[in-house]
């Protein structure tokens, strides 16, 4: 299915990229901090703050996918697959 509204697709791709960037930042921080069982209280606060900051792009993407899928009369998963494809992300083997 093709999305007729390219501005919607562009917005969703931007949100996906922001979400992916936030996730990558968390993974880098986790790697820097090492084993969570050995974190100091300050490191736990640093992680929690970074995780809270990363939740916003994830939430914005999820909310937008739900709303636009409904508005366009599509299944959310189908719309998400189109967004990933438009962003140049190959689907995982179990995605279809």
Tokens of 9: 């697709």
Q: Which two tokens stand for residue 75?
A: 């299944």
Phi, psi (rounded to 5 degrees) for 3: -85, 125
This prediction has a pTM of 0.79
> Can you give the pLDDT at residue 75?
95
67 — phi, psi (to 5°)?
A: -65, -50
Q: What is the per-residue pLDDT across 2-44, written as a single tens digit (0 to 9) for each?
A: 555 678 899 999 999 999 999 999 999 999 999 999 999 999 9
pLDDT at residue 38, rounded to an integer: 93
Closest C-alpha among 80, 93, 94, 78 to residue 13: 80
Percent of the chain with pLDDT strictly greater than 90: 77
């Amino acid at each position: 299915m093709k999305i007729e509204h390219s501005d919607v697709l562009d917005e969703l791709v931007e949100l996906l990229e922001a979400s992916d960037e936030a996730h990558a930042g968390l993974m880098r921080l986790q790697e820097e901090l090492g084993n969570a069982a050995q974190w100091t209280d300050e490191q736990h606060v640093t992680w929690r703050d970074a995780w809270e900051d990363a939740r916003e792009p994830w939430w914005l993407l999820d909310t937008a996918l739900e709303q636009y899928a409904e508005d366009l009369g599509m299944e959310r998963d189908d719309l998400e697959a189109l967004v990933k494809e438009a962003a140049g992300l190959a689907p995982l083997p179990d995605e279809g």
